[in-house]
Structure 1
Amino acid sequence: MKHMTLIITIVLMSFGNGASQINSFEEIHLDRPDNSLKVFNYSFEEIHLDRPDNSLKVFNFEELQSYLSEKDAKKTYVINFWATWCAPCVKELPYFEQLNAKYSNHNVEVILVSLDFPKQIETKLKPFLKKNALKSEVVVLDDVDSNTWIPKVNKNWSGAIPATLIYNKDKKAFYERSFNYQELETEVKQFIK
């Protein structure tokens, strides 16, 4: 009976508010009267929000990599790694929003990569985004193999956040620190011609 309660709890958590999607399941045979237990692997693919594009993209690192290398030769990209549980990250988010608003006409694109835990997307991240009405693009990185992907972002990154990658076709810089607005703007201006 304990196992059945655990299975029901996992299945209910998987469905949440209808935002998650079951991708696959595998069957495990046990010495039980019904002889099987279904185990569900789930992932959040798209979560709808009250945002201009009405969705939140969730990526593994392989899927996120396209955001970390040149997409548009005329743009400068500001990629900030953050999480709602990181106080310095939350403190600097308004500076990234201000930068996004001020420099969007200067071919600067701000992308906020949330490292929030997948199980907290519904309870923490979505309410945070709604409350703070962030206008920058927000994506979630859901990849537990951080020892593999952290050095791919920057070979010297310890994995601490906040961390910011700024790049364009000519230049790339990585910052493992928090910014105030003036510091952030000063760094971005070095990338704008």
Structure 2
Amino acid sequence: MILNFRREKTRLVVFFIFLAAVTHSFAQNNTPAVIDFKQLNHKIEGISQDSILVVNFWATWCKPCVEEMPIIESITSLQGEVPIKVLLVSLDFPEKIESKLVPFMKKKVILSEVVVLDERNPNDWIPEIDDKWSGGIPACLFIYKNKRIFHEGQVTLEFIEDTLNSLSL
């Protein structure tokens, strides 16, 4: 019995060392890029047409955004025959990246790509995402080939599954 406890204790120590190393590496290598809308559009267009792209507009100061983040982060685990890519577009202020966004990403272990959209006039770019978007967040844009589905408001796992299924038909 003592031998098993020692073996399990060793496994736990190795696991926590691994977790600390991953978290440290994550914190050092995942400072989000600050981009403008033209760069965001280029990034969206550059994603392979063979993948479903989920673009989530959010901010650390938005309670519904924070609440739905575990669901958004789980999207890639839903992959079937069509690969899924997630792009998190933060609307946090660029000057808050180091003090708010990076600590949030580290605490929540955000593995999806995160960019910070730095645009002064939302009325210039919001209609380009969807002409019915009021600008409220959270908001998700689902893209696959020539199909686009936009959703303003918090999402559920069921909504995401239904949307992904309708896109891949």
Q: Same fold by TM (over 0.5)?
A: yes
Quote the sequence identity (%): 39
Residue by residue, what CA displacement relative to the aligned partner does 1:59-79 show, whole Å, maximum 9, x if unpaired? 011111123336312111000
Match of 1:108 among 66, 84, 91: 84
**Greater strand content:** 1
**Counterpart contact for 1:82–1:163, Cα < 8 Å:** yes
Residue by residue, what CA displacement relative to the aligned partner does 1:5-49 show, whole Å, maximum 9, x if unpaired? xxxxxxxxxxxxxxxxxxxxxxxxxxxxxxxxxxxxxxxxxxxx7
Structure 1 145/169 Cα, relative in aligned 2: closer, same or farther at 3 Å? Answer: same
CA distance in 2, matches of 1:51, 1:111: 18
CA distance in 1, matches of 2:33, 2:111: 14
Runs of 4+ in 1 over 4 A off after TM superposition: none
CA offset at residue 55 of structure 1? 3.6
Structure 1 52/120 Cα, relative in aligned 2: closer, same or farther at 3 Å? Answer: closer
3-state SS of paired residue (2:79):
helix
Aligned to 1:130: 106
Which of 1 and 2 has greater Rg? 1
CA offset at residue 54 of structure 1? 3.5
Match of 2:61 among 81, 85, 90: 85
**Counterpart contact for 2:53–2:86, Cα < 8 Å:** yes
CA distance in 1, matches of 2:75, 2:138: 16
Match of 1:154 among 112, 117, 130: 130
CA offset at residue 104 of structure 1? 8.0
How many residue pairs end up in the alignment?
A: 145
**Counterpart contact for 1:70–1:169, Cα < 8 Å:** no
Q: How do 1:1-193 residues align onto structure 2 when only pairs under 5 Å count? A: 50=26, 54-69=30-45, 71-103=47-79, 106-193=82-169
CA RMSD of aligned residues (A): 2.0
3-state SS of paired residue (1:121):
helix
**Counterpart contact for 1:74–1:168, Cα < 8 Å:** yes
3-state SS of paired residue (2:141):
strand
CA distance in 2, matches of 1:70, 1:191: 19
CA distance in 2, matches of 1:113, 1:133: 16
Unmatched tracts of structure 1, length 5 or more = 1-48
Structure 1 51/110 Cα, relative in aligned 2: closer, same or farther at 3 Å? Answer: farther
**Counterpart contact for 2:31–2:102, Cα < 8 Å:** no
Name the aligned partner's letter for residue 93 of structure 1: M
Unmatched tracts of structure 2, length 5 or more = 1-24
CA offset at residue 88 of structure 1? 0.5
**Counterpart contact for 2:50–2:82, Cα < 8 Å:** no
**Greater helix content:** 2
Structure 1 53/100 Cα, relative in aligned 2: closer, same or farther at 3 Å? Answer: farther
Question: Normalized against structure 1, the TM-score is what?
Answer: 0.69
